[in-house]
Chain A
Amino acid sequence: EDQVTQSPEALRLQEGESSSLNCSYTVSGLRGLFWYRQDPGKGPEFLFTLYSAGEEKEKERLKATLTKKESFLHITAPKPEDSATYLCAVRRLGGKLIFGQGTELSVKP
């Protein structure tokens, strides 16, 4: 059965304190791994798509990496405005996304 597990469930950081979020997955026929950011009361905002092991993508203070079994979202020198829930999802052939439970990130000034 396809499954996505994110850890930790919640993460509290001080401003400038770098860290990583983990997304472990089991899926047959991976057709992309996606990272989204969701702020309270809003829809998920697309961040990255990764397609194959070894691939990396960066955007401002965020960097996403992918292996055959997991993905990491690295946050370098975070700021309070990076506080949000970060969602990981996998896609098989067919279209639907299977989401993890998310990691709630809080960055304190």
Chain B
Amino acid sequence: NAGVMQNPRHLVRRRGQEARLRCSPMKGHSHVYWYRQLPEEGLKFMVYLQKENIIDESGMPKERFSAEFPKEGPSILRIQQVVRGDSAAYFCASSPGTSGGEEQYFGPGTRLTVT
């Protein structure tokens, strides 16, 4: 049973370009979460999605960031017009359902570098 998959593992973008990060949850999991880990900082929640629905986007910056989890295909975190402050490791996690307190399993992350 494959774990959470993320690609690309490393992404380099110039300021002003767009970054697209992909996440395929574990088999049987329908809930996806995105977290960001800035250098020397802890993991911070960004957004929680179920298939075709955004459940909680309270951690998403108001501008330039968007996320989706379509009926078919991976979840996408999109960052438009990237700036150097967007350089970070972005982690996706998945869980199977809606009952409280269940485990989230993390992918290997995408390390975004903005030059």
In the complex, identify which listed stretch (A17-25, A38-46, A56-64) lies at the interface while the others stay far away.
A38-46
* Chain A contact residues: helix, strand, loop or mixed: strand
Tell yes or no: B14 within 8 A of A by CB.
no
Closest A residue to B47 by CB, please name it: A96
Cβ–Cβ < 8 Å partners of A99 in chain B = 35, 42-44
What is the number of residues of chain B that contact chain A, defined by CB distance less than 8 Å? 28
What residues of chain A have their CB less than 8 Å away from a CB belonging to chain B? 31-32, 34, 36, 42-46, 49, 51, 87, 89, 91, 93-102
Q: Write 16 A-B pairs (CB below 8 A) sorted by A numbering.
A: A42-B109, A43-B4, A43-B91, A43-B109, A46-B104, A87-B43, A93-B100, A94-B48, A95-B31, A95-B33, A95-B48, A96-B48, A96-B59, A97-B33, A97-B104, A102-B42
